Amino acid sequence: MQLTGSEIIIECLKEQGVDTVFGYPGGTILNVYDALYKHSDEITHILTSHEQGAAHAADGYARATGKVGVCMATSGPGATNLVTGIATAYMDSVPVVAITANVAVNLLGKDTFQEVDIAGITMPITKHNYIVKDVTKLADTIRAAFIIAKSGRPGPVLVDVTKDVTANTTEYTAKTPESVLPVTDRIREEDLETAVSMIQESKKPFLYVGGGAVISEAWQELREFAHKADCPVTDSLMGKGAFDGNDPLYTGMLGMHGTKTSNYGVTQCDLLITVGARFSDRVTGNAKKFAEHAKVLQLDVDPAEINKNVRTHASVIGDVKVVLQKLNQRLEQQDHSQWLAEINGMKEKFPLHYDDSRLTGPYVIEKIYEVTGGDALICTEVGQHQMWAAQFYKYSRPRTLLTSGGLGTMGYGLGASLGAKMGRKDKTVFNIAGDGCFRMNMNEIATATRYNIPVIQVVLNNHVLGMVRQWQTLFYGQRYSATVLNDAVDFVKLAEAMGAKAYRVTKKEELEPVLKEAMELNIPVVIDCQIDCDDKVFPMVAPGAAISECFAEEDLNKKDFG
């Protein structure tokens, strides 16, 4: 049948099973929005307050559901406002398809009103991107975008469509979406045998879990593997929930704000088994001193990650769910009881702790865990609150922590929480923010109230840029340059002005009833929690130091930070 390009875009979205799109209209994309209007009973469109919010919402939808998230924007500033969200998805391997419209083909390259080369701009931060100038190629391009976004190591794909293509007509034939199969062609028997031998020969193995284990849905295989290998387990920020945070083998997060047990244990281990992790600098600290006594066995779908940041002694390339299945078939039950006893001794000696005499960030996180029974989706912004959310909430299932790990995007969480709630309406969704992050995209509270998306926004309000201030305190002689936010902004009044229910919490005893009421209301809620400006995240590894040099607050007097 003959359809316009705009109608083809909508039909292709329906083919792919897309039920929700996040976006913001404008002149060049009007034809697409007109077609979308006619299918509003099949595809829900969420009009965000800003295009960046749309990109983050698509990202949050994808992370929470495992499906491809979709966002749309018009040309020029509409498209460029998606860039930060696209880069966030790229760094964390999130499958997103961003559809933008551009000026007509005959106006390209002429500095036309709201013209920008968005394909060129996003080339370094997309898995692939397209500019469609021929309507006959549109359907196949969109189909390819979805396949690329979700295959192998996922990532964002941008499809830029010129305005004349959205109006032109061509023959359209519906197609069933191609199945995307796990990547297994590089899994070699000799690599599996080497991996099993390394595990069997190891006396002190340690399992390090990254976001790839979440993406590949490998949590069941991972838990079987960990118990077969009989080894302690740590994770990255992105790997949270792939391994149960309540499991006795779990030692907490690794790296700059990881536990002493994980950092010391990885430093002392003789084999580091890495599943779907890329050895970020925030994990390794001084890479030359990272796991320096260990052989490194890396399991990853992306061969480019092997030997990129840390020298690898052996690797198995392929979808980690399939790799773990094959290893579990070959690996006999191991016994590392002596090593585990040593690790458990560290866990007892170096527990996470905080001042429980007053309202603090860790207390708020623990209370959220308690009142939700650990069964919520937790989104975060970036900073101290993000680290507290990683440390003090126990994630027992994958896709329950949504956070910007690689890019570290302030302003990510609120948009992501809207997308997560749209994708998982059965879940309670919290967004944890600092006041600095909340200011970035707090206008998305208006989006939440417009559609009654019942997210609970918790602001850990210390009236400063907390993580930057922490660094200024420790490493910059307490020179608080441009990090004090002690002004007259009232988040409760702002939230109420945007139509949300809002609370201010200043004491510990006020928090639990507010959290319970917020969950019962089932409407957008903002909770402004007033905490001290000098609360810090510990443990910590100083920049450039080895993770074995991690320190806690009680160690400060023993350190010279320069």
Q: Which two tokens stand for residue 117?
A: 């080369």
Environment class of 217 (CB within 10 Å of its CB; exposed 0-12, middle 13-18, buried 19+) = middle
Catalytic residue among 14, 114, 510, 549: 114
CA neighbor of 444 nearest in space, from 420, 413, 470, 473: 413
Helix (H) or strand (E) holding 251: strand 250-253
Helix-helix angle 361-372:508-521, to 10 degrees: 40
Give the 3-state secondary structure of residue 144. helix
Sequence letter at residue 288: K
CB atoms within 10 A of CB 492: 16
Q: Which two tokens stand for residue 528?
A: 């402004």
Asked, as a colleague might, if the bond just before 539 is cis with ω within 30 of 0, I would say: yes
Sequence letter at residue 311: R
Q: Which two tokens stand for residue 369?
A: 């865990």
Catalytic residue among 38, 113, 200, 559: 113
Give the 3-state secondary structure of residue 176. coil
Contact 79, 118 (CB under 8 A): yes
CA neighbor of 115 nearest in space, from 133, 100, 127: 100
- Between CA 453 and CA 332 the distance in angstroms is 48
Contact 522, 508 (CB under 8 A): no
> How many Å separate Cα 363 from the centre of its chain?
23
Catalytic residue among 67, 127, 150, 163: 163
Active-site residue, 114 included = yes
CA atoms within 13 A on the CB side of 134: 4
Active-site residue, 551 included = no
Catalytic residue among 72, 91, 346, 467: 467
Active-site residue, 52 included = no
Give the 3-state secondary structure of residue 460. strand
- Between CA 554 and CA 226 the distance in angstroms is 33
Active-site residue, 163 included = yes
Q: Is the dihedral of CA 59, 64, 67, 71 positive or negative?
A: negative
Catalytic residue among 7, 51, 305, 444: 51
Catalytic residues: 51, 113-114, 163, 467
